[in-house]
Amino acid sequence: MPNRSTDALFQLIKSLEKSEKRNFKLFVRRNSASENLKIIHLFDALDKMTDYDETVLLKRTKSISKQQLSNIKAHLYRQILSSLRIIKDEDNIDIQLHEQMDHARILYNKGLYLQALKVLDKMKEVAKSFNQLTYLQQVLFFEKKIEALFITRSMQNRAEQLSIESDVVNAQLSLVNRLSNLSLQLYSWYIQHGHARNKKDEDELKLVITTFLPEEAKTATGFYERLYLYQTYCWYYFIRQDFLQYYRYTQRWVDLFEQQPGMIEAETGNYIKGMHNLMGAHFDLLNSKKLAESIEQFEKFAHRRIVLQNDNNRILTFVYLYTSKINLYFLEGKFTEGLKLVPYIEEKLDEYRLYLDRHRVLVFYYKIACLYFGSGNNEKAIEYLGKIINQKADLRTDLQCYARLLHLIAHYELGNFELLEYLTKSVYRFMAKMGNMSGVEEEMFRFLRRSFAVGAKALKPEFEKLLNKLRQYEGNILETRAFAYLDVISWLESKINGVNVQDVIREKYKRRKKSSLAES
């Protein structure tokens, strides 16, 4: 895991494009008589650094003392933001509405109340078109303020109309707020715990839904109400591993944007997240055809200006696109071919290291480890799994657990039997402590402990016994996550047949494809 600087100014400078850096310097020099400005020196020094180091920084900017540094950094930070503010993004609805509100306030302060109301009226139409409820609320508040202070006679029954509009918008915002809170609460639960592990987890999730889901949400027609309702159900069914229902709500999520294309511009991040979940649902349902189609659609979207010219959108699109590409290689049993993506992914992880949270990076490491494991390269699988295991286990405990279990199996594959007894006990203790032990995992540990005392010739019957036991768990929804994180069934079949895991999965993919063609 790369070290990421926590210095805000350094992160901001590293996020700038060449054109933005050039614009900043022009902005500063235009607003100062001197070209030898300290903030320019500081900017250049930070721009040339790979990692933030205050000692090195002070050596490179000798005109700035240690006592001055904090104030000059704060001044530079504000100046960069000011320079970025004047580079207008005409397609950004937030910026457009904010600018119109600024114009209305200027006109109001000049005493031009009717002109201010005209600007607010136009702003209201744009806000309604793009479902911007918070801006709509601001407009109505400002309009009521003008009407209360001045007799504008702009129209009859003005007060009554504004009151009704305000009540409607406030009710919508209240519902959106409750639904977004619930959606975030469920997503946070998943980031912390992963999938539901037992009946206790399931009961806890059901209680959250029944307690906090507003009854009126089910009949809501507004964009944001439906968006957060679909997100809520997505997380709920995904955590419970009801993948069919998960797919249905992710499709509704994406369809919501397809029905209102303008909202893709206004809520690009939520559209990207919806596509990510739709591709994930296809993967969970083993629908390689639909997954390939969605990847193609998402890759075309990745070349749109709203992605290429926005750092957040570009980074999120990279993460979700390449996660899905790896997933497709998993479904098709093309693990070795999937390894061709690894150098590019590593390059991008390094490029975006200041912005990516640990959770996303760890997921990539696990998927890359699975590619190596499936293709038979256990040494490289262990290398990537080590990057996960060596991180503090403060989130995605399920990912930490399965990284350790796969790490154990990779050592088993390599015949590192002198390590296995210690690793088995260590991993068992870790998973038991995390409350992460399922029936599948218990059977795996029993097998591993038995296999130490069994000769190589007697192992095949032991593999067959374990396979028969594990197949009994395949229909149990609380055991699904064990098969989702680690295709132990295919691993056992590969051991019994003496082939690589990817060969077994490839044959299963061919059978599914043949069956699908026969049905159509």
Q: What is the pLDDT of residues 364-392, one digit of tens each?
A: 999 999 999 989 899 999 999 999 888 86
User: Treating both helix axes as pointing N-terminal to C-terminal, what angle do 38-48 and 18-30 enclose, rounded to 10 degrees?
Assistant: 170
HSE value, Cβ hemisphere, 13 Å, CA-based, for 505: 27
Which structure tokens are listed for 392? 């503090």
Compute the C-alpha angle 301/307/309, nearest 5°. 145
The per-residue pLDDT for 455 is 54
- 128 token code pair: 């309604």
| Cα 1 to Cα 349: distance, rounded to the nearest angstrom | 9
pLDDT of residue 273: 96
Of 400, 399, 326, the C-alpha closest to 367 is 326
Task: Give the model's pLDDT for residue 174.
Answer: 95
Question: Residue 4: pLDDT above 70?
Answer: no
Report how far residue 332's alpha carbon sits from residue 316's, in angstroms, rounded to the nearest whole number: 25
Q: Which of 337-346, 411-420, 483-492 has the highest mean pLDDT?
A: 337-346
pLDDT of 96 > 90? The answer is no
For 58, counting Cβ atoms within 10 Å of its Cβ (0-12 exposed, 13-18 middle, 19+ buried), the class is middle
Tokens 């509704």 -> residue:
252
CB atoms within 10 A of CB 372: 23
What average pLDDT does this structure show over 272-286? 94
Would the CA dihedral through 37, 41, 46, 52 be positive or negative? negative
Residues 6+ apart with CB under 8 A from 200: none
Tokens of 213: 């889901």
Please report, for residues 429, 447, 501, 503, 504, the alpha-carbon distance to residue 373 in angstroms, rounded to integers and kept in the order given.
24, 20, 8, 12, 13
Tell whether the torsion through CA atoms of 337, 338, 339 and 341 is positive or negative: positive
Write the pLDDT tens digit of every residue in 438-462. 777 788 777 777 776 665 556 677 7
Most confidently predicted of 271-280, 384-393, 482-491: 271-280
Burial of residue 458 (CB within 10 Å: 0-12, 13-18, 19+) is exposed
Residue 189: CB atoms within 10 A of its CB come to: 18
Q: How far apart are CA 366 and CA 396, in angstroms?
A: 12
Distance of alpha carbon 399 from its chain centroid, rounded?
15
Per-residue burial over 127-138, b if 16 or more Cβ lie within 10 Å, else e, is beebbbbebbbb
Amino acid residing at 99: E
Structure tokens at 491: 């691993």
Cα radius of gyration (the chain): 28
Q: Do residues 253 and 274 lie in contact, with contact meaning Cβ atoms separated by under 8 Å?
A: yes
Structure tokens, 174: 């209240």
What are the φ and ψ backbone dihedral angles of 346, each rounded to 5 degrees?
Answer: -60, -40
Q: Give the whole-number percent of the chain exceeding pLDDT 70.
A: 89
Given this model, what pLDDT does residue 1 score?
A: 39
CB 307 within 8 A of CB 317: yes
> Cα-flanking dihedrals φ and ψ of residue 453, to 5°?
-95, 0
**What's the predicted TM-score (pTM) here?**
0.79
Please compute the mean of the pLDDT values over residues 139-166 and round it to a whole number: 79
Identify the DSSP state of 499: S
Which phi-psi region, left, alpha or beta, contains residue 286 (left: φ > 0; alpha: ψ -120 to 50)?
left
